[in-house]
Structure 1
Amino acid sequence: MWLLRPPGVYRPQEDTWLLADALRTAPLPPRATVLDVCTGTGALAVTAGQLGAAEVTAVDVSRRAAAAAWMNGRVNGVPIRTICGHFGDLVGSERFDVVLANPPYVPAPDVPGSGKARAWDAGDRGRAVLNRLCAVIPLLLNDKGMALIVHSELCDPDATVHQLRGANLKAAVIARQVIPFGPVMRSRAAWLESAGLIEPGQRHEELVVIRADVTSQ
């Protein structure tokens, strides 16, 4: 997969590919409609199209990311409808068979309103976006729909599962991968320790993929 990544757009990395692998083993239902939330370069949207999705929509608050996702779809032969805006804006207007999400989840003292850090920073517990996402996912899924969400163990996978189950979805962790800290996490390791989010000297994290399924509507 060839991907254009303009400056300021999130670079696909371990979390992206862990979610892509989970999608490959899901699998997609026939003629699936797919929504890729916080799409970045559109890597997951492209993956869904290559796996046979009939319609792929990608949404991101970044204009650069939305443009990159559209271009990367074209380059890889996957038609992608891109939307520059918030995923919550789709509630009440559209539903999908599959929702994919690699949202910002890195714990940070502040949530930036702009700049490249908004692609990963998500408040002091890493859940500023995740909590909103868990609230709207049931409203974005079709009957028998499925969501796949990737994030770090540092922002409480149990809370994600609990919120999704509280919305009458069947939810569980289906994939895990331990990775060393990247540059962002290393740069704030002292703060993460002081906040009690990591053990002293810890320089790794576990990524998780959570699957949520609609059982009835």
Structure 2
Amino acid sequence: MRLPGVYRAADDTALLANVMRQGEYARGRRVLDIGCGTGALAIEAVRAGAASVTAVDLSLRSAAATWLNARVHRAPVDVRRGDLFEPVRGERFDLLLANPPYVPAPTSLLPRHRIARCWDAGIDGRQVLDRICLGSADALSSGGTVLIVQSEVCDERATLVRLEGAGIRSQVVARFRVPFGPVMRTRTALVEGRGLLKSGRREEELVVVEGCRD
């Protein structure tokens, strides 16, 4: 179920869910889904054997959609509304899941009340990604893991560097090439002009970054 203005689960969601399932990252663990959208990842974490699942989103509609979908699928998900880690400040989790906005936008101003909030992420696509990298260490338990899905367009190396700088060992664990979606097709000239993607490309590589806290 997807309310108007809520991000529709797409290839990036499926890739992250597949990595979580195949690696058995969620089994027996306390899971936090950051930016939950429809709740697809949170529900998959429950199905993958998580001990508990908490889902957070700044959007009221997304929080409502996750709450509704979790109940339709009889998945015990604790849904909270707020900005990234704020609703769970002081709590620790064994697994963080993040499919944040990562599409480069015309300006650095992030939309608050339009569907574009689901993908617009500033000039280089990293405004939300960087905040997640910096905040993950405080939300992870010792030995905990963060899984982040993003596009190559917003520089996977920067994600690795940010996580390492926060004390989280990191690596890319999955790659998947997909054709440009509707939003990226409208931003082709923009990302090419900024040197974020080679001219003529009409597909992008999605990557899943794994970070582990000692």
TM-score, with length taken from structure 1: 0.94
1:10 to 7, 10, 13: 7
C-alpha distance in structure 2 between counterparts of 1:60 and 1:100, whole Å: 12
Does the 8 Å CA contact 2:26/2:48 hold for their aligned counterparts?
no
Task: Tell me the equivalent position of 2:22.
Answer: 25
1:25 CA drift (Å): 2.0
C-alpha distance in structure 2 between counterparts of 1:151 and 1:175, whole Å: 11
Does the 8 Å CA contact 1:36/1:44 hold for their aligned counterparts?
yes
Task: Tell me the equivalent position of 1:140.
Answer: 139
Deviations 1:109-133 (A, max 9, x none): 1222321100110001000001111
C-alpha distance in structure 2 between counterparts of 1:112 and 1:180, whole Å: 25
Q: Structure 2 stretches of 5 or more lacking a match?
A: none
C-alpha distance in structure 2 between counterparts of 1:5 and 1:140, whole Å: 28
* Letter paired with 2:84: F
1:74 CA drift (Å): 1.0
**Which aligned pairs between 1:23-172 and structure 2 lie closer than 5 A?**
23-28=20-25, 31-90=28-87, 92-110=89-107, 111-172=110-171
Instruction: Please give the secondary structure, in 2, of the residue aligned with 1:129.
Output: helix
Instruction: Please give the secondary structure, in 2, of the residue aligned with 1:134.
Output: helix
* Letter paired with 1:196: G
Instruction: Please give the secondary structure, in 2, of the residue aligned with 1:177.
Output: strand
Instruction: Determine whether 1:174 maps to 2:159.
Output: no
Does the 8 Å CA contact 1:108/1:126 hold for their aligned counterparts?
yes
1:92 CA drift (Å): 3.9
Higher mean C-alpha deviation, range 72-81 or range 146-155? 72-81
* Letter paired with 2:10: Q
C-alpha distance in structure 2 between counterparts of 1:160 and 1:153, whole Å: 10
Higher mean C-alpha deviation, range 70-79 or range 122-131? 70-79
Instruction: Determine whether 1:193 maps to 2:197.
Output: no
C-alpha distance in structure 2 between counterparts of 1:113 and 1:48, whole Å: 28
1:90 CA drift (Å): 4.0
1:160 CA drift (Å): 0.4
Higher mean C-alpha deviation, range 11-20 or range 21-30? 21-30
C-alpha distance in structure 1 between counterparts of 2:165 and 2:73, whole Å: 38
Does the 8 Å CA contact 1:95/1:141 hold for their aligned counterparts?
yes
Does the 8 Å CA contact 2:146/2:211 hold for their aligned counterparts?
yes
Alpha-carbon spacing, 1:15–1:29, altered in 2? closer, same or farther (3 Å): closer
Q: Structure 1 stretches of 5 or more lacking a match?
A: none
Higher mean C-alpha deviation, range 186-195 or range 46-55? 186-195
Deviations 1:126-158 (A, max 9, x none): 000011110000010011111100000000100
1:88 CA drift (Å): 2.8
Instruction: Please give the secondary structure, in 2, of the residue aligned with 1:162.
Output: helix
1:59 CA drift (Å): 0.4
CA RMSD of aligned residues (A): 1.2
